[in-house]
Amino acid sequence: MAKRSNTIDISFFDQQMESSVKKHLEISQALNHAVENNELALALQPQVNAQGETVSFEALLRWQHPELGAVSPNDFIPIAEATESIISIGDWVLEKSCQMLAHWNEEKAFEHLGISVNVSSLQFRRGDFVERVKNILNSSGATPSKLRFELTESLLAEDIDDVVEQMESLRKLGVSFSLDDFGTGYASLAYLTRLPLNELKVDRAFVNDLGRHSKGALLAETIISLGRSMNLTVIAEGVETEQQFKRLQNMGCQHFQGYLFGKPSTNVKDYLPGKSL
């Protein structure tokens, strides 16, 4: 009997492996055509201040494939990074975001609001990122100070001197920087202080766990005071309840993002009634 169930387990495992490898391959091939086939869209999610007023949006990528259906960025971004299609996808995200900023400016609606764009560490590795950003800013006519890049701690695995140099060139253009998902990576604090950041984003994991004497609460409070002492704006992601909102405010957090204030939406009318962009 035992032998028999072993056999079943192994073949089940094999099947699972096979289907996950197949899925990976399918996604990586389909991704090569996602931009040209018009399958990508940007969803915007509001970022608010302590009064609950929207101060900016985060742009979040959405991919709808005709056969695979809606694929989550958590599934396809790592594959796009492994196959380097993240370079063309990243350009597309940046172009769309800058076009939106320029359009809002023309329409005199939302013209005071900025957009935060997630940038993969890989986009820095090519060496031509600054040039690409300059070109996209120029061709779109977007105001650089309305653009913020969200980076992750994985950036610290790159050549740090080179990264700092690229960030400083971009800052000279007017672009600002946020460190996303802070606390989940392996950032050395010594390295962290070298990056010319403007904002620190507390990871959703700590916001999820804000119970009275929880570890999450202790960590959130520590991260918020660290950010404030470095003169950075501190924003929390994944805020879902009034309780979390109040708690984070009491800890000194300045900006907030999460389902409590609005889910990511590809329909900009959700945020701009009566206008289509």
Residue 235 · residue 199 · CB < 8 Å: yes
- The amino acid sitting at 257 is Q
The DSSP secondary structure of 63-94, one letter per residue, reads EEETTTEEE-HHHHHHHHHHHTTHHHHHHHHH
Residue 249 · residue 49 · CB < 8 Å: no
Nearer to ligand C2E, 109 or 121 (CB): 121
* 47 counts as binding ligand C2E under rule CB under 6 A: no
Least distance CB 123 / ligand C2E (angstroms): 8
- The amino acid sitting at 33 is H
Residue 148 · residue 105 · CB < 8 Å: no
Residue 152 · residue 179 · CB < 8 Å: yes
Least distance CB 104 / ligand C2E (angstroms): 19
Residue 195 · residue 177 · CB < 8 Å: yes
Enumerate the β-bridge partners of residue 56.
47, 114
* 144 counts as binding ligand C2E under rule CB under 6 A: no
The DSSP secondary structure of 220-233, one letter per residue, reads HHHHHHHHHHTT-E
- The amino acid sitting at 32 is N
* 126 counts as binding ligand C2E under rule CB under 6 A: no
Task: State the binding partner of 227 from ligand C2E, Mg ion, none, CB within 5 to 8 A by kind.
Answer: none
Which contacts qualify for 205-212: CB closer than 8 Å, 24 or more apart? 206/236, 207/236, 207/237, 207/238, 207/239, 207/240, 207/244, 207/248, 207/258, 208/238, 210/243, 210/244, 210/247, 210/248
Number of Cβ within 10 Å of residue 257's Cβ equals: 25
Query: By CB under 5 A, what part of segment 219-248 binds Mg ion?
Result: 237
Least distance CB 87 / ligand C2E (angstroms): 11
Nearer to ligand C2E, 183 or 264 (CB): 264
Number of Cβ within 10 Å of residue 229's Cβ equals: 8
* 181 counts as binding Mg ion under rule CB under 5 A: yes
Enumerate the β-bridge partners of residue 229.
none
For ligand C2E, which residue of 23, 233, 238, 272 counts as binding (CB under 6 A)?
238
* Distance in angstroms (rounded) separating the CA atoms of residues 58 and 136: 18
* 243 counts as binding ligand C2E under rule CB under 6 A: no
Enumerate the β-bridge partners of residue 65.
69
* 180 counts as binding ligand C2E under rule CB under 6 A: yes
* 150 counts as binding Mg ion under rule CB under 5 A: yes
Task: State the binding partner of 95 from Mg ion, ligand C2E, none, CB within 5 to 8 A by kind.
Answer: none
Least distance CB 57 / ligand C2E (angstroms): 12
Nearer to Mg ion, 217 or 235 (CB): 235
* 259 counts as binding ligand C2E under rule CB under 6 A: yes
Site string for ligand C2E, 54-93 (x = CB under 6 A): ------xx----------xxx--x---------------x
Site string for Mg ion, 33-72 (x = CB under 5 A): ----------------------------------------
Q: What residues make contact with ligand C2E under the rule CB under 6 A?
A: 45, 60-61, 72-74, 77, 93, 118, 120, 150, 180-181, 237-240, 258-259, 264
Q: What residues make contact with Mg ion under the rule CB under 5 A?
A: 118, 150, 180-181, 237
